[in-house]
């Protein structure tokens, strides 16, 4: 069983009903199939003070004289599932991935969209704006799927422990998050910033307190519930401090990947050698010299524009304000 499955409450539906019946003023009492331990909850570390400051700056800038509806409207008009299918088909064809990916529509899927191996999973209850869905395609297909397709061709596929490769999730999600913003009109990573601050709050506060913090920005109790569950899952009595800290990887990962790109003169090829950490790019090249990875067309169509936009994203999100040791 995967970590996410371990941390998914088996009584989620019942506790959600209680939460809304009590006007969002109830701390769920979650149950799990297997014992949840602190090492599982804190596998990705805890929020860091310098990133908490960064996240607050991003959030303040995004919501300055704007509501969440204003920010959502910047993502273009709402689209139908049929329009979404056309966008997916177009991206897969342009990137010669038609035969590599299977698209699966799932009723009540916990994520709006996600990818596992070669299966792109999309919630049947489709709720996306045009730019938002394009961002998801760049993240899931243009980043995660392509890195895996390249990884499958490597001699170190399924042998990373043997070669002492590092954990790669910060690089994986950091790159995906940067690529999401390429498709966005607003290049502020306010959603990842909100998740970061909420993760920090969950370590100190209850479910209800964390929910209220999130909802003051989201202004949507259903969406705020989903985010709070993601962050407080793994706890039994959610009135107590604690929760799952995976959400830190997105913001911290973006900075990590940006620093690599800046130092390497935008070595995008290195980032697509497989599902690896930026620090293992030299090792990957050593194990398979001359390997040319498949790259996304949002990079290959215009590398200069890609570099320009990623640099702008870093500036807008104050990445340079962090010390290199962070």
**Residues taking part in catalysis:** 140
C-alpha Rg value of the chain to the nearest Å: 20
Q: Which two tokens stand for residue 182?
A: 């390429």
CB 183 within 8 A of CB 303: no
Angle between the N-to-C axes of helices 221-232 and 190-202, in degrees from 0 to 180, rounded to the nearest 10: 60
CB 189 within 8 A of CB 51: no
DSSP secondary structure code for residue 121 in this structure = E
Burial class (CB in 10 A: 0-12, 13-18, 19+), 88: buried
Q: Choose among 250, 248, 261: nearest CA to 309.
A: 261
Q: Which residues on neighbouring strands pair with residue 128, listed in sequence order?
A: 79
Q: Which residues on neighbouring strands pair with residue 294, listed in sequence order?
A: none
Burial class (CB in 10 A: 0-12, 13-18, 19+), 192: buried
What is the distance between the alpha carbons of residues 134 and 128, in angstroms, rounded to a whole number? 9
């Amino acid at each position: 069983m995967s970590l996410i499955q371990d941390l998914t409450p088996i009584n989620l539906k019942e506790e959600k009903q209680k939460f809304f019946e009590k006007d969002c003023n109830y701390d769920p009492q979650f149950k799990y199939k297997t014992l949840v331990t602190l090492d599982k909850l804190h596998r990705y570390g805890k929020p860091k003070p310098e990133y908490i400051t960064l996240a607050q700056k991003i959030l303040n800038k995004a919501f300055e004289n704007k509501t969440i509806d204003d920010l959502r409207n910047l993502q273009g008009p709402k689209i139908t599932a049929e329009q979404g299918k056309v966008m997916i088909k177009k991206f897969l064809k342009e990137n010669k991935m038609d035969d590599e990916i299977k698209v699966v529509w799932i009723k009540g899927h916990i994520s709006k969209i996600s990818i596992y191996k070669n299966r792109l999973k999309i919630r049947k209850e489709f709720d996306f704006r045009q730019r938002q869905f394009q961002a998801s395609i760049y993240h899931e297909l243009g980043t995660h799927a392509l890195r895996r397709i390249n990884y499958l061709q490597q001699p170190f596929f399924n042998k990373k422990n043997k070669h002492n490769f590092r954990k790669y999730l910060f690089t994986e999600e950091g790159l995906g998050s940067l690529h999401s913003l390429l498709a966005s009109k607003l290049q502020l990573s306010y959603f990842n910033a909100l998740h970061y601050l909420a993760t920090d709050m969950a370590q100190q506060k209850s479910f209800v307190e964390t929910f209220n913090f999130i909802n003051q920005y989201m202004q949507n109790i259903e969406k705020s519930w989903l985010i709070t569950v993601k962050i407080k899952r793994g706890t039994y009595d959610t009135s107590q401090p604690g929760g799952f800290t995976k959400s830190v990887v997105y913001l911290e990962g973006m900075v990590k990947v940006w620093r690599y790109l800046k130092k390497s003169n935008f070595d995008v090829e290195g980032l697509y050698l497989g599902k690896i950490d930026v620090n293992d790019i030299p090792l990957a090249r050593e194990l398979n010299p001359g390997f040319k990875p498949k790259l996304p067309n949002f990079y290959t169509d215009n590398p200069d524009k890609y570099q320009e936009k990623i640099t702008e994203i870093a500036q807008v999100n104050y990445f340079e304000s962090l010390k290199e040791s962070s």
